[in-house]
Amino acid sequence: MINDHVVAHNPASVWQVPESFKSIYSHAVEVSGLKRLLIISGQFGVATNRELGADFASQCEQAMDNVEALLAAGQMTTSHVAKITYYVTRAEDFPALVEIRRRRWAWEPAPAVTAIVVSGLARPEYLIEIEALAVGDAQ
């Protein structure tokens, strides 16, 4: 899906995004004709029954499910996402994060992305937190 409000900028004047990352990362994202902005607070891998996945992959998948549910509540989809921030507590989980992102959240134009290793999140058992900004048409 293409969001007409979002244009990716990956100019030759900065380091080039590897081909394998172009569907999941842009250096900058320009938003025009903004009608609605959905700001999604950091989401953990906690399910509606308050259960937390035992490993990074299950927590990441659930956090993504939570983001998608909030997008749906705002009548948006992942194609409306302009910016994503990932907070991860273990650097060794980045390859799994990239694989999951490629499988679930690869689209054009790719969003602006920041991925940060942090020393901890709100609870010690949380391994990932995902926040997002989405833009869309007026309702």
Q: Please compute the mean of the pLDDT values over residues 110-117 and round it to a whole number.
A: 94
**CA nearest 90: which of 132, 120, 49, 134?**
120
Burial of 125 (0-12, 13-18, 19+ CB in 10 A): middle
Q: Which residue has the higher pLDDT, 133 or 28?
A: 133
pTM: 0.83
Residue 77 and residue 1 in contact, taking contact as beta carbons nearer than 8 Å: yes
What would the pLDDT profile of 76-90 be if each residue is shown by its tens digit? 999 999 999 999 999
What would the pLDDT profile of 12-36 be if each residue is shown by its tens digit? 888 888 898 888 888 777 777 767 8
What would the pLDDT profile of 42-60 be if each residue is shown by its tens digit? 999 999 999 999 999 999 9
With 60 as the cut, is the pLDDT of residue 1 above it?
Answer: no
DSSP state letters, 1-30: ---TTEEEE--TTSPPPPGGGTTT-BSEEE
What is the DSSP-derived secondary structure letter of residue 47?
A: -
Number of H helices, E strands in the chain: 2, 6
What domains appear along the chain, each with residue ranges and CATH number? Answer: 6-136 (3.30.1330.40)
Burial of 45 (0-12, 13-18, 19+ CB in 10 A): buried
